[in-house]
Amino acid sequence: MKNNIFAATLAICLLGFGFYFGKMTQEQEEKPITAEQIQAAANVIGLDMTQAEIDSLLEGVSRNRNNYMELRKHPLPNSVPPALNFNPVPVGFEFEKTKKPLVLSKPKNLAVPDQLEKLAFWSVRDLAELIRTRKITSMQLTQMYLGRLKKHGPTLEAVITLTEERALAAARRADEEIAAGKYRGLLHGIPYGAKDLLSTKGYKTTWGAMPYKDQMIDEDATVIKKLDEAGAVLVAKTTLGALAMGDVWYGGTTKNPWNLEQGSSGSSAGSASTTAAGLVAFSIGTETLGSIVSPSTRCGVTGLRPTYGRVSRTSAMALSWSMDKVGPICRTVEDCAIVFNAIIGPDGIDQTLIDVPFNYNANTKLSDLRIGYVKSLFERESRGSERDSTVLEVLRSLGVKLVPIELPDFPYSAMRPVLSAEAAAAFDALTRSGDDDALVRQGRNAWPNAFRTARFIPAVEYIQGNRVRYQLVQEMQKVMAAVDVYVSPSYGGPNLLLTNLTSHPCVVLPNGFTDAGSPTSITFIGGLYNEAAALRVAKAYQDATDWHLRHPAMFE
């Protein structure tokens, strides 16, 4: 037993007056809940009740506990979502209805370098042109990346599983199809890595966590299926911080290719690290609260966190059903557009998906877009303020007339329990079984303690947090009525938490280096379901700079 009987019965009272951390004996289930325990629980959750009120609710609390025990007998795998779905659509919001062709920048007339490994840092756009024109084969590219993964993957601790057999078969098939004139598009034959919370048939899906290190989920996630249909070649399952937190997984700490003494940040740790080090052409990550933005910043790559409900999460590990999002991590903005175009759309399973056109156009004039900036965040002093201000100067040099905006004033941190409660529910069985002891990280800020702490969030407060979130969605729509895209420091004020709560899409890309040589980033936030505008503005900035063309020297 992890707790003594008193602590256990008190814990039962505290979460909606009925949660418990460990297994219960029959004797404990039948042990009556006392008025003293109710009073203690009321104090913890900030309620003041009279003795008469406490006496009146004892029977109902006991009945609730019995209901909790009954629910726990019913199997609930991580893949089962709650019946209630988050709706990010503000009142009166109008969707884009017309699907237009994807318009990319013109391909270059490229020559194959004398050494194939020099292609390791090329963009998807350029690699695709070489494959399309049959100057190289998918097999050549795949074998080159597999070689780099075997050579550098252990150093970075960024790969959980090489999918070599699958990759070689896919590359062979791609070359045969292209030779036969059946070109599927820009991802045909392109090798990539996928965060190891996306299930892949025939390979382990470990979620980066010791309790699941041998887990086999015998199906392909929808994102994997869509990339298969596009002809992309999966070469590796990349690391993630255990259960999608940080960069520490059961096999070590994923490294930042720019500084091996530093972790790559998380939780899409391996996806960002392998992309930055030229071990894959692109990768797939996920974000709940910074898991694309943070490692993309640390590793100096470009990431797209889409609007909630854009990309299927079917057969992806659930952490927070109302906040989880799947997106690409690449070397360029336009690569993100190419990959995103392949993975969006309904799959007939994930009921949060909304089928909205993605109309990216590289030729859209910046003058046709209203571009804002969060004025107060750029005016305050910070370690990165000079680099952030330079971003505004670059945009102005491109003819952009920046519109100053401010973000709504809300109790943002007070809404974090929405995520915490959902995460604790997603891993309820792990907590109650005691198997959370097997996770590598066990500190105060690690998942085991976070899951236990979340058991003390009353259901009423979880709902109240979501009601405030609804208000925030409406207020952000007022802000976005003035602009199509706005730019913000990546970690500026509440922007990261805010936009994950409201689900506005974000493009994160390099904007310089610290004095110590570590990459830094800037973010462009688009309107809901308007990733295209955010990508277009971010591309204009990226094209005017060269930060994305710099690569960690030890992997070149």
List the catalytic residues. Answer: 195, 267, 291
Distant-in-sequence, close-in-space partners of 8: CB < 8 Å, separation ≥ 6: 1, 20, 21, 22, 24, 28
428 three-state secondary structure: helix
Give SS3 for 147.
helix
Output DSSP code: residue 201. Answer: T
Beta carbons of 326 and 371 less than 8 angstroms apart: no
Kindly state the DSSP code that residue 113 receives in the 8-state scheme: -
Residue type, 413: S
Q: Left if phi > 0, otherwise alpha if psi is -120 to 50, otherwise beta: which for 432?
A: alpha
Place of tokens 């292209």: 178
Go through 364-403 and write b for each residue having 16 or more CB atoms within 10 A of its CB, e for each that does not. bebeebbbbbbeebbeeeeebeebbeebbebbeeeebebe
How far is 324 from 145, CA to CA, in rounded Å? 29
- Residue at token pair 């056109």: 357
* Peptide bond before residue 267 is cis, with ω within 30 degrees of 0: yes
Name all contacts of 541-545 with Cβ < 8 Å and 24+ positions apart.
541/391, 541/394, 541/395, 541/398, 541/509, 541/511, 542/302, 542/332, 542/333, 542/509, 544/394, 544/397, 544/398, 545/394, 545/511
- Per the CB < 8 A criterion, the answer to whether 446 and 467 are in contact is no
Strand partners, 151: none
Residue type, 205: T
Q: How far is CA 71 from CA 18, 29, 179, in A?
A: 12, 14, 56
